[in-house]
Amino acid sequence: MVIFKSEQDIVDKLDLHDQLVVDCAAGKLEFWKFCEAYNNFFYFYALDGHESDDEELALLHKFEERILFHEQVAEDVLGKVCSDEDAEKPDYILCGRFGSKVAVEKLVAIVGKSAYKANEIRSTQFVRCAGHSVGPQISALWVLQMLVGVHTLMKDANNLYTFTIS
Query: Dihedral angle at the C-alpha atoms of 125, 128, 129, 134, nearest 10 degrees?
Result: 50
Neighbours of 17 (CB within 10 A): 22
At 72 the pLDDT is: 95
Q: Give yes or no for residue 45 having a pLDDT over 90.
A: yes
Q: How far is CA 104 from CA 52, 128, 137, in A?
A: 31, 8, 20
Cα distance between the two ends of the chain: 49
Q: What is the pLDDT confidence band of residue 154, given thresholds at 50, 70 and 90?
A: low
Sign of the torsion formed by the C-alpha atoms of 81, 131, 110 and 90? negative
Cα–Cα dist 150/162, whole Å: 10
Domain range list for the chain: 7-123
At 138 the pLDDT is: 41
Q: Give yes or no for residue 61 having a pLDDT over 80.
A: yes
Q: Give yes or no for residue 156 having a pLDDT over 50.
A: yes
Cα–Cα dist 42/68, whole Å: 9
Q: What is the pLDDT confidence band of residue 135, given thresholds at 50, 70 and 90?
A: very low
